């Protein structure tokens, strides 16, 4: 069975010495009492809870799954108790506003928590992810009355939240949404329609479930400009604010899925369901993106959690399993076997897993910490620069980290060999659970298009230009540091390649849009590798001159990344420049 132990030392190293969380949040009144010591305490306590209560339920939750009986979804054994422990410990409100009973801690800590939860129990992590998104959307767009009624209980975990976008005909294309809402004349609305793929749409863990639903009013304009957002509770609150009458929203089915079996993925029907408008009419897409953008960072951290879990289990197995002899000892007795960790090709896999996981952690935490600065820093210019970074890194964190989760889950199976293909070892569950992360909250292809078609153009290219300039400044500052030349030089070469690729893709957006679309995914991959290389260069600098096992591991992995993985950037450039001619040459009906 797979196990999970939170990588507390590495998490703290990234937060303190790479992200510089205490310094980064200085000057923000809301976080005036947040120190490295406080953060260490939070991370250590979260690790205890998650290792003790969530990790043991991962395999059994996958095996048992959810079940639907008479409209009620029952989660696997132990899940309601785990939700209660999670909520009563205040973890559901870790970064939520103190005004509604939250702890008011930085968003980045909620993302550290998300990584831990996903590494320990990916299915469970979805319930708090969606609930936090509902809290955020209500805080930003809900009326004072809605906030007073719903926010405190969402923050406390007494109630949970969902995001209801998708319909059978409207997946990523939300302009096709058909669910209808009509004004009831008393301040409420009546919703009719159906939604699919609704994570946590029905379950037995919380007292009530609060759905944020996209729907159309009768006079709504066509397309996405005619969509509004509504709050629809499973149970209508009574006069005391407790769950009362059952609302007209019901679970018709739960999906039988490839993975995340313990997460209830529901088909919901709305039959004259009572709801309330959230924000202005026809502003539903904008309001929903408040949830979605933060959720995309959260999904990236789910991918990171899978990376970590797969990596630590693969390393543990490689340090236990004996098979074969190295080539240098080929003539020795057949019984004189060695640990598989001694074989160079196994080392290649393990170092790839370490390099992507530990480098990806920097990307994820830096984006989340920047979201805190963007939301709360008193200086306008500082807020704007932080928001630019968040906007640029959101598709990278969502897409690259979740792609890495799939790659490393598969690599972990490969390290185990045939045993990895067998359910009892738990590695194949990582493969199944990881796949969804590349699909929901906007597929990774959509993330690539968002990066290329929107983020490269935003503010006349300011986002990407500033980021590339920051990397160039680092390279210039470290050029005389001979001990870092092993990574600074190839990082500079990769940066030069990305600068040219960025200009060519931006030009294609105006002159040959299909060429830009064809380049988008490869461009995202190349930029992500550059970003991870920048992360490894800073980590190598941070431990330079230290003689500890931790520092030696960091420096060796940084060298591996610089020599074996960063060069992938140059292999992607020809694909970025290849254009779309052969992709679009055949009529669609000739693809079959």
Count other C-beta atoms under 10 Å from residue 228's C-beta. Answer: 23
Half-sphere exposure of 581 (CA within 13 A, CB side): 3
Spatial distance between the Cα atoms of 177 and 169, rounded to a whole number of angstroms: 8
Distance CA 55, CA 121 (A): 6
Q: Rounded distance, CA 518 to CA 504, Å? A: 13
Three-class secondary structure of residue 25 per DSSP: coil
Contacts with 459 (C-beta within 8 Å, 6 or more apart), sequence order: 388
Residue matched to tokens 């609704």: 198
d(CA 230, CA 249): 13
CB 498 within 8 A of CB 527: yes
Task: Name the DSSP class of 115.
Answer: H
Place of tokens 């990769």: 494
Strands 208-216 and 189-199, how do they pair?
unpaired
Measured from the Cβ of residue 323, the count of other Cβ atoms closer than 10 Å reads 13
Q: Angle 384-296-561 (CA atoms, 0-180°, nearest 5)?
A: 85
CB of 366 closer than 8 Å to CB of 374: no
Give the span between the Cα atoms of 493 and 495, in whole angstroms.
5
3-state helix, strand and coil shares in percent for the chain, rounded to the nearest 5: 65, 10, 25
CB environment 350-387: b (16+ within 10 A), e (fewer): bbbbbbbbbbbbbbbbbbbbbbbbbebbeeeeebebbb
CB 268 within 8 A of CB 211: yes
507 is catalytic: no
The closest alpha carbon to 542, from 528, 557, 521, 527, belongs to 557
The answer to whether 210 and 233 are in contact (CB under 8 A) is yes
- Catalytic residue of the set 441, 507, 582, 590: 441
Question: What positions carry a catalytic annotation?
Answer: 441
């Amino acid at each position: 069975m797979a196990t999970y132990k939170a990588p507390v030392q590495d998490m703290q190293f990234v937060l303190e010495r790479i992200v510089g969380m205490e310094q980064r949040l200085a000057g923000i009144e809301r976080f005036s009492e947040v120190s490295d010591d406080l953060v260490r305490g939070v991370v250590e306590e979260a690790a205890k809870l998650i290792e003790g209560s969530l990790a043991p339920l991962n395999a059994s939750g996958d095996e048992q799954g959810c079940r639907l009986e008479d409209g009620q979804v029952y989660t696997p054994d132990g899940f309601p108790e785990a939700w209660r422990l999670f909520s009563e410990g205040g973890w559901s409100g870790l970064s939520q506003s103190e005004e509604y009973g939250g702890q008011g801690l930085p968003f980045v800590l909620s993302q550290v928590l998300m990584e831990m939860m996903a590494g320990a129990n990916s299915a469970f992590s979805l319930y708090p992810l969606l609930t936090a998104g509902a809290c955020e959307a209500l805080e930003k767009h809900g009326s004072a009355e809605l906030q007073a009624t719903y926010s405190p209980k969402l923050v406390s975990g007494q109630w949970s939240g969902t995001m209801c976008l998708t319909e059978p005909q409207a997946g990523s294309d939300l302009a096709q949404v058909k669910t209808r809402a009509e004004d009831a004349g008393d301040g409420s609305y009546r919703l009719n329609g159906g939604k699919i793929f609704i994570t946590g749409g029905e379950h037995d863990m919380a007292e009530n479930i609060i759905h944020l639903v996209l729907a159309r009013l009768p006079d709504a304009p066509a397309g996405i400009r005619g969509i509004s957002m509504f709050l629809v509770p499973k149970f209508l609150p009574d006069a005391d604010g407790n769950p009362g009458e059952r609302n007209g929203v019901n679970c018709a089915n739960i999906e039988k899925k490839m993975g995340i079996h313990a997460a209830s993925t529901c088909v919901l029907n709305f039959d004259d369901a009572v709801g309330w408008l959230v924000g202005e009419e026809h502003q539903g897409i904008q309001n929903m993106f408040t949830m979605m953008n933060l959720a995309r960072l959260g999904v990236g951290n789910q991918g990171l959690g899978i990376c970590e879990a797969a990596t630590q289990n693969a390393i543990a197995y490689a340090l236990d399993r004996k098979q074969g002899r190295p080539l240098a000892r080929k003539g020795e007795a057949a019984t004189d076997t060695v640990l598989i960790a001694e074989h160079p090709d196994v080392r290649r896999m393990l170092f790839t897993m370490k390099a992507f996981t530990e480098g990806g952690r920097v990307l994820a935490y830096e984006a989340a910490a920047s979201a805190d600065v963007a939301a709360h820093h008193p200086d306008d210019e500082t807020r704007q620069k932080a928001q630019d970074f968040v906007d640029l890194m959101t598709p990278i964190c969502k897409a690259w980290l979740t792609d890495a989760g799939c790659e490393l889950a598969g690599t972990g199976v490969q390290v185990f060999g045939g045993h990895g293909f067998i359910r009892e070892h738990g590695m194949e569950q990582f493969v199944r659970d990881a796949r969804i992360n590349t699909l929901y909250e906007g597929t990774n292809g959509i993330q690539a298009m968002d990066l290329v078609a929107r983020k490269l153009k935003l503010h006349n290219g300011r986002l990407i230009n500033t980021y590339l300039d920051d990397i160039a400044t680092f390279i210039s500052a470290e050029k005389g540091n001979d001990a870092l030349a092993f990574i600074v030089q190839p990082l500079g070469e990769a940066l030069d390649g990305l600068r040219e690729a960025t200009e060519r893709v931006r030009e294609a957006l105006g002159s040959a849009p299909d060429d830009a679309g064809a380049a988008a995914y490869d461009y995202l991959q190349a930029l992500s590798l550059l970003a991870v290389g920048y992360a490894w260069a800073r980590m190598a600098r941070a431990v330079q001159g230290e003689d500890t096992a931790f520092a030696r591991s960091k420096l060796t992995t940084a060298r591996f990344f610089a020599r074996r993985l960063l060069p992938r950037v140059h292999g992607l450039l020809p694909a970025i420049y290849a254009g779309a001619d052969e992709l679009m040459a055949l009529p669609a009906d000739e693809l079959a």
